[in-house]
Amino acid sequence: MSKRDYYEVLGIARGADEAEIKKAYRRLAMKYHPDRNPDDKTTEVRFKECKEAYEVLCDPQKRAAYDQFGHSGVENGGSGAGGFYGAGAAGFADIFGDVFGDIFGGGGGGRRQQVYRGADVRISIELSLEEAVHGIEKRIRVPTLATCTACEGSGAKAGSNPIICPTCAGHGQVRMQQGFFSIQQTCPSCRGSGRKIAHPCPECRGEGRVRTPKTLSVTIPPGVDEGDQIRVAGQGDAGESPGHPGDLYVQVHLQPHPLFRREQDNLHCKVPVSFATVVLGGEIEVPTLDGPMMLKIPAETPTEKTFSLRGKGVKNVRTGHVGDLFCQIAVETPVNLTRPQREMLADFERSLHEGGARHHPEQRSWIDKLRGFFESKV
């Protein structure tokens, strides 16, 4: 009886990749496995047919031979029908060992040593507003786990060597049987390394790593803001041999500034101005991060008026956009007046009242609103 095409058996295209082959095989094997279909010879034949097709198409050399020569290309040399059927219907666990191997870290290709990457380390630094805006090189001290120099990361005492883990016999994996399924998982005793430390290193107590502070130079880019994180690759905790080290994350916190308040890319500040300046107009000196500059105050400027200085804010670290500086005017009430100054102010106030409401338009508008409010209550 002629055999069916392997691609047809699994229901896949000839260009299917390994993941598609495994997916199709899992589905069909679950459907036709003899343990799930007792006393059904038809499903047993279909199961063996699926297994044969899978073992050929998942082997690059066998698949190439099959694609070129058909069934005759894989039936010689021990990889043909006899090789598939000789053992009968294999146990469910063995059938799925290589299919699930990629998922559970095991497989039929022998032990693969587990690699444990070092943990990431996070620290916080405080920056002044000027440091955050202009950028700076900061020297920081970081407490990290470093590879133990006494044992060179092996965890074993000098003159001794790790032994084969008795739990997994050095495979790094243990098999858990649950009904039909057999799942391979990392050995809990050696954590996948396949080795046990009989005589731990006294410096690291068998861990292969020790807590060692180190000093690093970290570049703070211009424009960072509160809560931003700077990643320094490979400067976290050392990995468990042969794992790679983790990363260092430096989180930025801004110190309060005596003059400026930052909102994203913009800066805000309050500027005290004398009563005479806002009435008559003039120029005042205002601070910027690049140095002082003069700001023109028009005559009769109301208090809390805000002036915008374009491009005097912060350059965004990601977009390069430069924000603005907003200066809010705050009229300062004069204090510690002399008698002549008080008398001059009293004369000035009387002259304003003699001029009527035209000198105090906002006050007159407010009084009218107040009267309307009380009249509506009557």
Q: Do domains 6-90 and 261-331 have the same CATH topology?
A: no
- Of the segments 58-62, 158-162, 238-242, 283-287, which one has the largest average pLDDT value? 283-287
- Residue 251 C-alpha from the chain's centroid: 13
Give the integer Cα–Cα distance in Å for 344 and 116: 82
When pLDDT is cut at 50, 70 and 90, the band that residue 374 belongs to is: low
- Of the segments 9-18, 182-191, 351-360, which one has the largest average pLDDT value? 9-18
Q: How many CB atoms sit inside 10 A of residue 127's CB?
A: 20
* Assigned token pair, 311: 């491009």
* Assigned token pair, 244: 């790679």
Q: What is the mean pLDDT of the chain?
A: 79
pLDDT at position 163, please?
81
Residue 334 has pLDDT above 90, yes or no: no
For the chain, percent of residues with pLDDT exceeding 70: 80
When pLDDT is cut at 50, 70 and 90, the band that residue 303 belongs to is: confident
Q: What is the DSSP letter of 264?
A: T
Phi, psi of 67 (to 5 degrees): -60, -30
Give the integer Cα–Cα distance in Å for 131 and 221: 9
Pick from 186, 196, 208, 229: nearest CA to 317: 229
User: Residue type at 113?
Assistant: Q
Give the integer Cα–Cα distance in Å for 296 and 285: 9
Q: Domain locations in the chain?
A: 6-90, 121-254, 261-331, 341-377
Spatial neighbors of 240 by CB under 8 A, at least 6 apart, are 116, 118, 153, 193, 208, 209
Give the integer Cα–Cα distance in Å for 99 and 369: 82
pLDDT at position 357, please?
60
Give the integer Cα–Cα distance in Å for 361 and 363: 5
Which CATH code is given to the segment(s) 261-331?
Answer: 2.60.260.20
When pLDDT is cut at 50, 70 and 90, the band that residue 378 belongs to is: low
Spatial neighbors of 295 by CB under 8 A, at least 6 apart, are 271, 283, 284, 285, 286, 307, 309, 327
Residue 46 has pLDDT above 50, yes or no: yes
* Assigned token pair, 289: 């991060």
* Assigned token pair, 304: 């809390």
Residue 1 has pLDDT above 80, yes or no: no
3-state secondary structure of 103: helix
pLDDT at position 148, please?
85
Q: Does domain 6-90 have CATH number 1.10.540.10?
A: no
- pLDDT, average across residues 98-112: 41
pLDDT at position 250, please?
92
User: Residue type at 275?
Assistant: F
Name the CATH code of domain 121-254 (choices 2.30.30.230, 3.30.450.20, 3.40.190.10, 2.10.230.10).
2.10.230.10
When pLDDT is cut at 50, 70 and 90, the band that residue 172 belongs to is: confident
- pLDDT, average across residues 135-161: 84
Top-confidence residue, 43 or 108: 43
Sheet holding 325-331, edge to edge: 261-263, 266-273, 325-331, 306-309
When pLDDT is cut at 50, 70 and 90, the band that residue 356 belongs to is: low
Instruction: Tell me the β-bridge partners of 137.
Output: 219
User: Residue type at 373?
Assistant: F
What is the pTM for the complete model shown?
Answer: 0.55
The string of pLDDT tens digits covering residues 253-264 is 999 999 999 999
- pLDDT, average across residues 346-356: 77
Residue 77 has pLDDT above 60, yes or no: no
The string of pLDDT tens digits covering residues 26-44 is 888 888 887 778 788 888 8
